[in-house]
Amino acid sequence: MTTQLTPTPVASPLVSPGSGFAAAAGRWAGALAGAIAIFSVLLLAKGADPLATLGDMVVSMTTGASLEQIVIKAAPFVLAAMAVVLPARAGLANVGGEGQVIIGAVAGAGVGLVVSGPAALPLMLVAGALGGALWAGLAVALRVTVGVNEAVTTLLLNYVALDVMLYLIYEPWKDANGSGQPATPPLAIEQRLPLLGGTAVHAGIILALLAAAAVWLTLRHTAFGFRLAVTGGNPEAARRAGLPVARLLLTAMLLGGALAGLAGVIHLAGIEFKLRPGLTTNIGYIAFLAAWLARHNPLPAVAAAFMLAAITVGGDSLQLDSGLPAATVNVLMALILLAVLGWTAKRSPS
C-alpha cells in the first residue's frame, strides 16, 4: 500500500496564523524600529546627529536617479537571493552566492571575448548560468558523495572564485589597450543589456522578477517543489518514501547556482561592462541577508532585496554627507537582520 504524501501549507513570514496580520506587522515594525534605535546610538557614538543623518539617507533614496539605482542594484540581489531560497527548501545552505555570481560574470565575459553580434548576449546569459551552476555543483557533489557540509564548501569557494577572476584580469584577459588597470576589454554595445524606456534601468530587472516568479511557482505549485520541502524537512523520511534525495539536493543546488551565475552576467552586461576588482560589491552576501530576512520565502525575499538595495543606495549619504565610514551601511544591514530574525521569530507556547 502506497502512502500518499500531502503538502503542508507554509505560513508566510509576514503573517502568523496564531496572532494575525496586525500582530505580525507590529512585530516587524518593532524589530525595524529597534534596529534603527540601536543604529542611532552608534551614530551618536561617532559624533553624528541621528535625525539629520537618517533624514539625509531617506531623502537621498527618493530622488529620480536614486530610485533608478535602487532598481538596478535590486536586479542581481533578487536573482542571488533566489539562489539561496531554492536550495534552502531542500535543507541546503548556499553561502556561496558571491562566488557563483563572480564565476557567472567570468563565464559571460569569456563568451563576450570570443562571440560578437546579436547572438553574443543570449550566449553570455546561458554561459553565466552554466558557470554558476557548475561552481555550486562542486559543493553539492562533496555533500552527496563524502558528506562535506555545503555551507563550508560554498563559503570557501567564494575566495577561489575571486582568485580565478583576479588571475584572468591581471594576466590573459587584461585589456591591452586600457589604462593599465586590471580589467577586461569593455563589452560591445550589442553585448550589453538594453535599457528600459528613457531610464538607466536595464532589462535585467525583468529577468530577475521573472526568475523569482518561477521559483515561487515551482516551490508552491509543483511536485518538484513538494519533494524539495519533504527532503529539507526530513531527509531520512524522504528516502524511506522513495524520493531520490541525492538527485533532489544536486538539482536544487545546481538551479540555485545557475540563478546566482545569471545575476553575475546581468550585473556585468547591465552596469559594469567589464571584469574588474571589486566587480560584485558583495552582491552574494547581501542577497544572502535578503533570503534570510524573508526566511527563505521567494516573494518576501524580492521585497527584502529591494529594501537592501535602497539601504545600499541611501548609505552613500552616510559617507558623503555625514563623513561616516563606508562600512556603516553594513552595520545597519546587520542590525536589521538580527532584529527581524530575533524579534519576529515564532515563540513556542509556554
Integer angstrom CA distances of residue 243 from 147, 228, 247, 342: 19, 10, 9, 34
**Cα–Cα distance for residue pair 225/265, rounded to 1 Å:** 26
The pLDDT confidence band at residue 13, using thresholds 50, 70 and 90, is: very low
Cα angle 191-195-199, degrees, rounded to a multiple of 5: 150
Q: How much of the chain exceeds pLDDT 70, in percent? A: 90
The pLDDT confidence band at residue 260, using thresholds 50, 70 and 90, is: very high
In angstroms, how far is CA 202 from the centroid of its own chain?
A: 18
Q: Which residue has the higher pLDDT, 319 or 5?
A: 319
For the segment 7-15, the average pLDDT, to the nearest whole number, is 43
User: Cell triple for residue 121?
Assistant: 548576449
Which domains can be identified in the chain, with CATH numbers? 49-323 (1.10.3470)
- What per-residue confidence (pLDDT) applies to 309? 93
Q: Is-contact 72 271, C-beta < 8 A?
A: yes
The pLDDT confidence band at residue 343, using thresholds 50, 70 and 90, is: low
The mean pLDDT of the chain is 88
pLDDT at 280 over 80: yes
pLDDT at 5 over 60: no
**Cα–Cα distance for residue pair 288/142, rounded to 1 Å:** 21
DSSP state of 184: P
Which residue in 349, 177, 185 sits closest to 276, CA to CA? 185
**Cα–Cα distance for residue pair 77/85, rounded to 1 Å:** 12
Q: What is the signed CA dihedral for 118, 276, 72, 63, rounded to 10 degrees?
A: -130
Q: Is-contact 219 78, C-beta < 8 A?
A: no
pLDDT at 151 over 90: yes
Instruction: State the burial class of residue 181 (Cβ atoms within 10 Å of its Cβ: 0-12, 13-18, 19+).
Output: exposed
- 312-320 LR contacts (CB < 8 Å, sep 24+): 312/73, 312/286, 313/60, 313/61, 313/66, 313/69, 313/70, 313/73, 314/57, 314/58, 314/60, 314/61, 314/66, 315/57, 316/60, 317/53, 317/56, 317/57, 317/59, 317/60, 318/53, 318/57
Please give the single-letter amino acid code of residue 224: F
pLDDT, one tens digit per residue, over 229-248 is: 999 999 999 999 899 999 99
pLDDT, one tens digit per residue, over 215-226 is: 999 999 999 999
The pLDDT confidence band at residue 168, using thresholds 50, 70 and 90, is: very high
- What per-residue confidence (pLDDT) applies to 20? 53
pLDDT, one tens digit per residue, over 104-123 is: 999 999 999 999 999 999 99
Q: Left if phi > 0, otherwise alpha if psi is -120 to 50, otherwise beta: which for 273?
A: left
Longest dimension (CA), the chain: 71
For the segment 178-204, the average pLDDT, to the nearest whole number, is 93
Q: Which residue has the higher pLDDT, 15 or 228?
A: 228
pLDDT, one tens digit per residue, over 55-105 is: 888 888 888 888 999 999 999 999 999 999 999 999 999 999 999 999 999
- What per-residue confidence (pLDDT) applies to 340? 77
The pLDDT confidence band at residue 128, using thresholds 50, 70 and 90, is: very high
- What per-residue confidence (pLDDT) applies to 8? 44
pLDDT at 299 over 50: yes
DSSP state of 190: G
Identify the top-confidence range among 130-139, 168-177, 289-298.
130-139
The pLDDT confidence band at residue 11, using thresholds 50, 70 and 90, is: very low
Q: Is-contact 263 101, C-beta < 8 A?
A: yes
- What per-residue confidence (pLDDT) applies to 344? 58
Please give the single-letter amino acid code of residue 263: A
**Cα–Cα distance for residue pair 53/38, rounded to 1 Å:** 14
- What per-residue confidence (pLDDT) applies to 160? 97
pLDDT at 205 over 80: yes
Give the HSE-up count for residue 246: Cα atoms under 13 Å, Cβ half-sphere: 7
